[in-house]
Amino acid sequence: VDTCSIAAEAYPAKMPPPLRQLLRQALGQLAAMAGAQGQQVDPGALDAALDALDDAESIRWGIDVDAKDGSVAIENAQVAVRGSTPAAMLGGDVGTPLTMATGPAGDADRRAIEGHWCSKAAASLVSSETLASVLPSGSGDASPEALFGVLRDVVQSMAETGGLEVALTADTAEATADAPLPALTVALRVKDGKALEKLVKTRLGAADALPPGVQARFDTGRAGAATLHAIDVDGVPGLPGGRVEATLAIAPTSVFILTGADVPRRIEAAITASGRPQQGAEALGRLTAHLAPLFAYAGRLAGAFAPDDPNVERMESASTVAAGEPSATVALLARPIERGVRYRHRADGGAVTA
């Protein structure tokens, strides 16, 4: 036997009303039980999910085990009723490419974590009313007001491009006990970087806009078409020196948030690689963890801060095993399908072995 698969499928929209009501009650009871055990479920989100059952033509769950390559995959696919609002929205994302990059292609083998999200449908849901409900104003506290205001401005500018695009990578290759944070790069596509930059400066430059220990320094340099701004956070527990330094880079049609070294080169490379479809990166999104560098990173830090921890040896052993495999990754993939979306969580053979 080369492969083994098992699947189950439900058709909520075809269920008679009494059966749907029983399903609602069962899910409500499960949510209540989870809440009693400290795992709170948002009632609004639960109600929305239950209401969505009326528009769900089919929901499929499955698991695949491939004996040839040793991989294991868990899949969930949801298809909306033809003519419903979800069906129209989800169908619009088929074939939507990611155009944002976080660096040159040659850096790909250094990435411990990489991911992206791009969706036209999500952008259509963004409105001033939606943002105000999710990121409310009027609290009277200057710091949350400034932070929520910046987030509203950024998301609004992203939506005005016609689609929400986010890409991120985390590089752990240079992380040490003295500088344990990974080199993080987050890239966002925006409509008008110059206008957004003015809003950010106004909000974060206001008196008491930032909490104690956080400082914003504007116009600290340039990298290609981007203007650089620094965000310094002091008093971070558990970090050598207690300080985190981040860079906010704003270009005409993109925003980058970075930590780590060699920031100008990384920004210039990301800007150069952006603006065109990224190979293998389409809607809706993907998050991939590369286990060899992740285990090596965890082992280095554990060895430095807790050398007697028995997990240090396990991490080092797992890193060695993963590094010896052609690939050792765990990935979560979301793809639009006709009138729906498919989620797939896959661990390849190297990851299962490690």
- Asked if 347 contacts 72 with a C-beta cutoff of 8 angstroms, the reply is yes
Residue 105 has pLDDT above 80, yes or no: no
- Asked if 54 contacts 13 with a C-beta cutoff of 8 angstroms, the reply is yes
pLDDT recorded at residue 254 = 93
259 φ, ψ to 5°?
-125, 165
Place 298 in a pLDDT band, splitting at 50, 70 and 90: confident
Name the percent of the chain lying above pLDDT 70. Answer: 93
121, amino acid identity: A
138, amino acid identity: G
183, amino acid identity: A
List C-alpha distances in Å: 132 to 155, 235, 291.
Answer: 12, 31, 39
DSSP state of 179: S
Most trustworthy range by pLDDT among 33-42, 99-108, 137-146, 152-161: 152-161
User: Could you read off the pLDDT of 313-328 as tens digits, one per residue?
Assistant: 777 787 788 777 777 8
pLDDT recorded at residue 249 = 94
Whole-angstrom Cα distance, residue 116 to residue 281? 7
User: Could you read off the pLDDT of 196-220 as tens digits, one per residue?
Assistant: 999 999 998 888 888 888 889 999 9
319 φ, ψ to 5°?
-65, -40
Sign of the CA dihedral 244, 241, 269, 200? Answer: positive
Output the six-digit token pair for 218: 């504007």
- Asked if 64 contacts 4 with a C-beta cutoff of 8 angstroms, the reply is yes
Bridge pairing between strands 254-259 and 3-10: unpaired
- Asked if 67 contacts 12 with a C-beta cutoff of 8 angstroms, the reply is no
Residue 180 has pLDDT above 60, yes or no: yes
Residue predicted with more confidence, 123 or 193:
193
State the chain's mean pLDDT as an integer: 83
Average pLDDT over residues 181-200: 92
Report helix angle 291-305 to 311-323, nearest 10.
150
For the residues of 217-268, what is the DSSP string, one character each?
Answer: EEEEEEETTEEEEEEEEE--TTSGGGEEEEEEEEETTEEEEEESS-HHHHHH
Whole-angstrom Cα distance, residue 213 to residue 135? 23
pLDDT recorded at residue 315 = 76
- Asked if 71 contacts 346 with a C-beta cutoff of 8 angstroms, the reply is yes
User: Could you read off the pLDDT of 236-248 as tens digits, one per residue?
Assistant: 887 777 888 899 9
- Asked if 293 contacts 172 with a C-beta cutoff of 8 angstroms, the reply is yes
User: Could you read off the pLDDT of 10-24 as tens digits, one per residue?
Assistant: 888 888 888 877 877
CA angle 115, 224, 152 (to 5 degrees): 55
Whole-angstrom Cα distance, residue 49 to residue 271? 39
Residue predicted with more confidence, 339 or 95:
339
User: Could you read off the pLDDT of 273-295 as tens digits, one per residue?
Assistant: 888 888 777 778 899 998 888 88
CA angle 78, 84, 90 (to 5 degrees): 50
Bridge partners, residue 221, by sequence: 228
Has this prediction a pTM greater than 0.85? no
Beta strands in the chain (DSSP E): 3-10, 56-66, 72-80, 111-119, 164-171, 183-189, 214-223, 226-234, 243-251, 254-259, 285-290, 329-337, 340-347
| Three-state secondary-structure class, residue 90 | helix
pLDDT recorded at residue 322 = 78
Gyration radius of the chain's alpha carbons: 23
